[in-house]
């Protein structure tokens, strides 16, 4: 079952397309990192999946065949919007009770135990919580409704490193306990590798990369070699990004597999997820999408760039 | 663990909706501060009317008498106060209950929390708006009846002089229900349309006040075509003519005289040029005073008419609010 399935999805605000021609199917059971620069369309895509926005064109279904925003979809999705909006004037305990009464399913014991573990007092008003506590509360509420899919929009934004670490730990524990699928958007690329096992990269409103992290990392390498000349056999390799540092050149390349030949005089290193994400973000024309319908030829970028 | 309204439930029951009573609790918890303050203010007003009303009713006709025992100053001050405060209550319902109810959800972003929960935005709005409308209608009936009882002279809203052409007609229980529901509906609608609390409050107040005066001046006197009736002969003086309106024998409730003018016995009114003729010409042609009026028997009907269109307009505004909330991005 796909947790999010989009076909030609587009969303326009006024004359500006925030998202365009987005076709993908994200399988369930993954922690999906949705990455992209500011204005890439991440929040738009997540708000569409949560049912807060309606598409301008194309179609989108969640959790198999549910229409986003429909009753069944709302019951099965936990959503934490950007900045974790809650009722600031309510005490935490009342905030929990409001959320409980707005949902059909609710695990109150778990929610309260989680807040106790985090040291968030129930009698403190939400507006007096720190940014990290507020994000934790929003996550606790989203999880307490026992969703099958958790959607988090920039949950790490504006959090200090410790709060970020704590939130990710909570998220990982939840995934391990409940086995739910998660989609979260983030700017903090360095943190992704710890938690995400599926990557979606959006850039300028277009889908650029989608696939399992292991698979993507297995296909991408960082090559280092002399910058003076470009080997002839490099022309057969998709170069996603090239960087020169003095006499050395560093390339992010997409290979055909482990047996892909490395040019003579060049060294191959495993690419990190951060390398991969940054490499694609620097070249919006490069794409790597799964499936025969959406796969595109490698890179499109000239090896000499 | 603190006990809560519902036990933990495992799994999502297919095809079920969140029970209304649970959503009503949410609405109460969200707005109980505003509702408590509003209830206190309404209670103070009701107590003020009750206390002054008892004193004035005991004084009876002594209210009009000038002297040491006269209650006229109490009547004058309290009536002026009530005539200022009561017509503004519907506007206040829109300003402080209606407009923030929707606008604040957008402004603070909490709509992005509430509307993605299992209950959904439509049911959330319904459980917030419908109980508020019912509550306000009950308050309006109560205050309207109390003010009608309070009025010791029998003029004003329910007595000899019905004042259809003033805003006080709206204080009768039936129209008062309509006005208070309309004020709230305006607030809810502008809150959803403008999505900024202060701007929505300003739009609500401006539109309510404009409508209130427009209705009193130009709509209400013409809910039904007014009637015309010959009054008396004009009284002539050395400097010209003058007349005073009299109704003659009373048949049932007093009418509301909208205008008086001189006209021919057949009812056709004099033109501007004809008005410059001499008194002798007026006498010779049996010129009469013609009254344009709404008969007193229509008073209750006018209350129903005003309640009706106010409720219809409120229903349109609330429906438009539902459409806006359903379609607009959070």
pLDDT digits (tens, 9 = 90+) for B3-42: 344 443 445 555 688 899 999 999 999 999 999 999 999 9
Q: Tell me: the pLDDT tens digits for B199-208?
A: 999 999 999 9
How far is it, in rounded angstroms, from Cα B290 to Cα B231? Answer: 6
pLDDT category at A190 given cuts 50, 70, 90 is: confident
- Express as a percent the part of chain A with pLDDT over 90: 50
Asked if the C-beta of A67 comes within 8 angstroms of chain B's C-beta atoms, the answer is no
Q: What is the pLDDT of residue B13?
A: 58
Are A79 and B116 in contact (CB < 8 Å)?
yes
| DSSP 8-class letter at A265 | T
Overall average pLDDT of the B99-111 stretch? 95
What's the pLDDT tens digit per position in A242-263? 888 777 888 888 887 777 878 7
Give B71 to chain A, closest Cα distance, Å: 48
H or E, element range at B213 = helix B197-214
What letter would DSSP give residue B70? -
Per-residue confidence (pLDDT) for residue A80, from 0 to 100:
94
Closest of A3, A303, A1, A264 to residue A151, by C-alpha: A3
Q: Do A102 and B14 touch (CB under 8 A)?
A: no
**B74 with B52: CB under 8 angstroms?**
yes
Task: Flag whether pLDDT at B59 surpasses 90.
Answer: no
Q: Which range is most confident: A56-60, B14-18, B59-63?
A: A56-60
Looking at CA atoms only, how far is residue A126 from chain B in angstroms? Answer: 12
Indicate whether B279 pLDDT > 70.
yes
* Among the partner residues A99, A112, A138, nearest to B117 by beta-carbon distance: A99
**Any residues with CB less than 8 A from the CB of B323 and at least 6 apart, and which?**
none
B112, closest residue in chain A (CA to CA):
A81
d(CA A135, CA A86) in angstroms, rounded, equals 10
Name the residue of chain A whose CA is nearest to B15's CA: A72
In a mutagenesis test of the A interface, which of B112, B121, B325, B327 is the best target, namely the one with the most A β-carbons within 10 Å? B112
Lowest mean pLDDT among A138-152, B91-105, B233-247, B279-293: B233-247
Quickly state the pLDDT bin for A303 (edges 50, 70, 90).
very low
Does A74 sit within 8 Å of B117, measured CB to CB? yes
pLDDT digits over A232-244, tens only?
666 667 888 888 8
Q: What is the dihedral of CA A143, A146, A151, A154, to 10 degrees?
A: 0
Q: What angle do CA B61, B62, B65 make, to 5 degrees?
A: 110
What residues of chain A lie within 8 A of the CB of B5, using their CB?
Answer: 97, 100-101
Mean pLDDT of B64-73: 68
What residues 96-125 of chain B have any CB closer than 8 A to a CB of chain A? Answer: 108-120, 124
Picking from A74, A101, A113, the nearest residue to B120 by CB comes out as: A74
Which DSSP state fits B12?
-
DSSP state letters, A184-231: EEES-GGGHHHH-SEEEEEETTEEEEEEEHHHHHHHEEEEEEESS---
Contact state of A47 with B26 under an 8 Å Cβ cutoff: no
| Nearest residue, CB atoms, B112 vs list A76, A77, A85 | A85
Please state the ipTM of this predicted complex: 0.85
A26 by Cβ neighbours in 10 Å (0-12 / 13-18 / 19+) ranks as buried
* Residue B285 vs residue B208, higher pLDDT: B208
> What is residue A264's DSSP assignment?
T
pLDDT at B62: 64
Return all residues near A38 (Cβ < 8 A) that are at least 6 apart.
A187
Report the C-alpha gap between B29 and B35 in whole angstroms.
10
Q: How many CB atoms lie under 10 A from the CB of residue A88?
A: 14
Question: What pLDDT is recorded for position A56?
Answer: 95
Local structure of residue A197 (DSSP, 8 states): S
Tens-digit pLDDT profile for residues B239-270? 555 555 555 544 456 677 788 888 898 888 89
Q: Do the beta carbons of residue B175 and residue B307 sit within 8 Å?
A: yes
Q: Tell me how crowded residue B88 is: count the other CB atoms within 10 A of its CB.
A: 16
- Nearest chain B Cα distance for residue A285, angstroms: 30
Q: In this structure, what token pair is assigned to residue A51?
A: 């049912």
- Do the chains contact at A47 and B329, CB–CB below 8 Å? yes
Non-local CB neighbours of B221 within 8 Å, separated by 6+ positions = B164, B165, B256, B258, B294
Q: How far is B198 from chain A (nearest CA, A)?
A: 19
What's the confidence (pLDDT) of residue B311?
A: 98
CB B152 within 8 A of CB B123: no
Q: Which residue has the tokens 């470009």?
A: A230
Q: Which of residues 109-138 of A touch B (CB under 8 A)?
A: 109-110, 112-113, 122, 138
pLDDT tens digit sequence for A159-175: 788 888 888 888 888 88
Q: Which of A76, A86, A108 sits opposite B1 (nearest CB)?
A: A108
Contact B9 A104 (CB under 8 A): yes
Give the rounded percent of residues in chain B with a pLDDT score beyond 70.
81
- Is residue A300's pLDDT more than 70? no
CA distance A257 to chain B (A): 43
In this complex, do B109 and A83 lie within 8 Å of one another by their Cβ atoms? Answer: yes
Give the model's confidence band at B275: pLDDT under 50 very low, under 70 low, under 90 confident, else very high.
Answer: confident
pLDDT at B69: 67
Q: Which of residues 11-50 of B touch A (CB under 8 A)?
A: 11-14, 16-18, 22-23, 25-26, 29-30, 33
C-alpha–C-alpha distance, residues A121 and A115, integer Å: 7
Encode pLDDT of A12-52 as tens digits: 999 999 999 999 999 999 999 999 988 899 999 999 999 99
What pLDDT is attached to residue B157? Answer: 47
pLDDT tens for each residue of A195-221: 899 999 998 888 999 999 999 988 888
pLDDT reported for residue A140: 93
């Amino acid at each position: 079952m796909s947790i999010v399935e989009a076909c030609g999805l587009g969303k326009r605000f006024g004359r500006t397309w925030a998202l365009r021609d987005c076709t993908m199917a994200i399988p369930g059971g993954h922690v999906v990192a949705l990455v992209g620069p500011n204005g890439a369309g991440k929040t738009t895509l997540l708000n569409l999946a949560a049912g807060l926005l309606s598409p301008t064109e194309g179609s989108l279904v969640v959790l198999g065949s549910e229409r986003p925003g429909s009753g069944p979809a709302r019951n099965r999705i936990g959503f934490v919007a950007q900045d974790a909006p809650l009722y600031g004037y309510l005490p935490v305990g009342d905030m929990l009770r409001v959320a409980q009464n707005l949902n059909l399913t609710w695990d109150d014991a778990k929610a309260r135990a989680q807040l106790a573990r985090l040291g968030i007092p129930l009698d403190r008003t939400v507006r007096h919580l720190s940014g990290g506590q507020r994000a934790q509360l929003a996550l606790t509420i989203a999880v307490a409704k026992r969703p099958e899919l958790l959607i988090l929009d920039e949950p790490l934004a504006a959090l200090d490193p410790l709060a970020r670490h704590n939130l990710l730990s909570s998220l990982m524990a939840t995934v391990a306990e409940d086995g739910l699928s998660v989609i979260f958007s983030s700017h903090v690329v360095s943190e992704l590798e710890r938690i995400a096992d599926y990557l979606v990269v959006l850039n300028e409103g277009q889908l650029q990369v989608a696939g399992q992290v292991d698979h993507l990392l297995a296909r991408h390498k960082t090559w280092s070699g002399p910058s003076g000349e470009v080997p002839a056999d490099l022309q057969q390799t998709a170069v996603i990004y090239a960087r020169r540092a003095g006499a050395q050149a560093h390339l992010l390349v997409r290979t055909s597999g482990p047996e892909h030949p490395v040019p003579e005089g060049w060294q191959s290193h495993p690419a990190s997820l951060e390398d991969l994400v940054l490499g694609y973000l620097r070249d919006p024309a490069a794409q790597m999408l799964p499936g025969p319908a959406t796969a595109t030829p490698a890179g499109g970028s000239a090896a000499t760039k | 663990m603190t006990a809560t309204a519902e036990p933990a439930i495992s799994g999502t029951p297919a095809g079920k909706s969140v029970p209304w009573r649970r959503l009503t609790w949410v609405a109460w918890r969200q707005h109980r501060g505003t509702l408590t303050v509003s209830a206190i203010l309404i209670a103070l007003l009701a107590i003020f009317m009750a206390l002054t009303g008892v004193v004035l009713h005991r004084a009876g006709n002594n209210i009009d008498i000038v002297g040491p025992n006269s209650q006229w100053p109490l009547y004058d001050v309290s009536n002026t106060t009530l005539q200022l405060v009561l017509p503004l209550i519907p506007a206040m319902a829109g300003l402080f209950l209606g407009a923030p109810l929707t606008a604040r959800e957008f402004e603070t972003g909490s709509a992005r929390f509430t509307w993605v929960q299992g209950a959904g935005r439509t049911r959330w709005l319904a459980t917030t708006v419908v109980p508020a409308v019912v509550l306000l209608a009950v308050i309006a009936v109560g205050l309207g009846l109390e003010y009608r009882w309070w009025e010791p002279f029998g003029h004003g809203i329910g007595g000899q002089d019905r004042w259809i052409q003033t805003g006080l007609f709206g204080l009768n229980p039936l129209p008062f229900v309509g006005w208070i529901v309309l004020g709230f509906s305006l607030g809810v609608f502008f809150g959803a349309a403008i999505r900024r609390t202060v701007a929505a409050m300003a739009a609500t107040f401006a539109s309510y006040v404009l409508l209130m005066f427009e209705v009193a001046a130009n709509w209400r006197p013409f809910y039904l075509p007014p009637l015309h009736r010959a009054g008396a002969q004009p009284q002539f003086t050395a400097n010209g003519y003058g007349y005073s309106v009299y109704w003659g024998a009373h048949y049932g409730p007093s009418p509301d005289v909208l205008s008086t003018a001189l006209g021919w016995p057949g009812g056709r009114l004099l033109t501007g040029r004809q008005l410059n003729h001499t008194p002798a010409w007026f006498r010779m042609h049996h010129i009469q005073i013609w009254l344009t009026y709404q008969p007193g028997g229509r008073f209750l009907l006018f209350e129903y008419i005003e309640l009706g269109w106010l409720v219809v307009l409120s229903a349109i505004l609330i429906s438009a609010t539902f459409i806006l909330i359903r379609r607009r991005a959070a």
